[in-house]
Amino acid sequence: MAVEDRNGVLHGKYELGRHLGHGTFAKVYHARNLHTGKNVAMKVVGKEKVIKVGMMEQVKREISVMKMVQHPNIVKLDEVLASKTKIYFAMELVRGGELFEKIAKGKLKEDVARNYFQQLISAVDFCHSRGVYHRDLKPENLLLDEEGNLKVSDFGLSAFSDHLRQDGLLHTTCGTPAYVAPEVIGKKGYDGAKADIWSCGVILYVLLAGFLPFQDDNIMAMYRKIYRGDFKCPPWFSSDARRLVTKLLDPNPNSRISISKIMQSSWFKKSSIPKRLETEEDAFGAKCKETETLNAFHIISLSEGFDLSPLFEEKKREEREEFKFATTRSASSVISKLEEVGKSVKFSVKKSDSSVRLQGMECGRKGKLGIAAEIFAMNPSFLMVEVRKSSGDTLEYNQFCSKELRPALKDIVWTSA
């Protein structure tokens, strides 16, 4: 149990400082890790208040989600401590304030809005690949660091894919009214990913316009506008921006644009911001920039094509949930090969410029098997591919890898001469 002493030191480890802000159930303080000197934001939640309103599950969910989603555009959770009366979240300190504060001053230039939107979509795509749906995306939950990088925060209302009912839909109404998708208001069950995409559409509109697309003093009248998708783009929106916003704010979730299509849209791709393949820091913590050179360990560990990390790990191969390999082939040929494997075993395939998701159609011991492959450029002619299980049973995943995936990838895997 964590205990705060008279000097404001928590668990003998964190020195609590000034108050940074507060919400309904939490207060946030500046804190310093006395062991490492690292500054953090300490979110303090009162147990009694949370239990009283039945929010304990929500707090537990936020902890498990934030441990699971580690991405450069998501606020990082360092650790969780607890006392008899409080829960303490030691989180990444994001010093640039809320994106909301920037919008409050007026609309943003299109290239600036695009930069923030690209980072938002990168974070949301990552969450969805982990079966996590945020469900309360809004500018107040988007923080900025000192370099202006966007960080998604507040996963208190998020849902896992295992919260889906038998119809494959979520059924809890939540979120902030102006940013909520029409199908969520309708209470008929909704796809968490599509609801998040709608919220991203409202955010993009607000970034470009400086005001909300759906506004009315009467909340029911506002809900009617949302339900009908009744909004107008201001005249200063470019034709490409107008087209994308209209596809994002499609009131029909079945025809609403997907994340892979957002990434392929001309407006999204127009910027000089480096593409995900070249710069993104992935879930495994490897920053893959185009200019990065391979060190000796990379070369040795990949010299037989597939990685040698099992030599350094306690887990047996049949318990492992990921592997990586290097290739000198192009990203498109890697994607084609993975797509070919997926289709040969009748898996559904979703792809973007730098990733492929394979999903089995049949339920195994722990649901449908899901496999995700992410591609990173180590240098212009050398790629690293990380393959991991995203859902389903680990044993089934390993059997699939040994019988189907590894044999099929043999001809594109790089091996030293």
Is residue 47 a known part of a binding site?
A: yes
In order of 51, 102, 181, 259, 375, the CA distances from 278 in angstroms are: 45, 28, 33, 19, 9
Handedness of CA 396, 363, 129, 372 (dihedral sign): positive
Provide the token pair at 244. 């994308």
Q: Mapping DSSP to helix (H, G, I), strand (E, B) and coil, where does residue 102 land?
A: helix
CA atoms in the 13 A half-sphere facing the CB of 166: 0
CB 361 within 8 A of CB 348: yes
How far apart CA 331 and CA 355 sit, in angstroms, is 9
Whether residue 136 lies in the annotated active site: yes
φ, ψ of residue 262 in degrees (nearest 5)? -60, -45
In angstroms, rounded to a whole number, what is the distance separating the alpha carbons of residues 272 and 115? 9
CB 201 within 8 A of CB 179: no
**Residues near 211 by Cβ (< 8 Å), separated by ≥ 6?**
none
Cα first-last separation, the chain = 55
- Cα(210)–Cα(217) distance, integer angstroms: 18
The pairing of strands 322-327 and 382-391 is antiparallel
What three-state secondary structure class fits 215? coil
Integer-rounded Cα Rg, in Å, for the chain is: 23
Which CA distances in Å does 148 have to 105, 119, 207?
A: 16, 11, 15
Closest by CA position to 163, among listed 200, 121, 133: 133
Determine what percent of the chain falls in helix, strand and coil, rounding each to the nearest 5.
Answer: 35, 25, 40
- 11, 3 contact by CB (below 8 A): yes
Please identify which of the residues 5, 78, 136, 393 carries the catalytic annotation.
136
With contact defined as beta carbons under 8 Å apart, do 144 and 97 qualify? yes
Please count the other Cβ atoms lying within 10 Å of the Cβ belonging to residue 181.
Answer: 27
Q: Give catalytic residue positions.
A: 136
Which residues does the annotation place in the binding site for ATP? Answer: 47
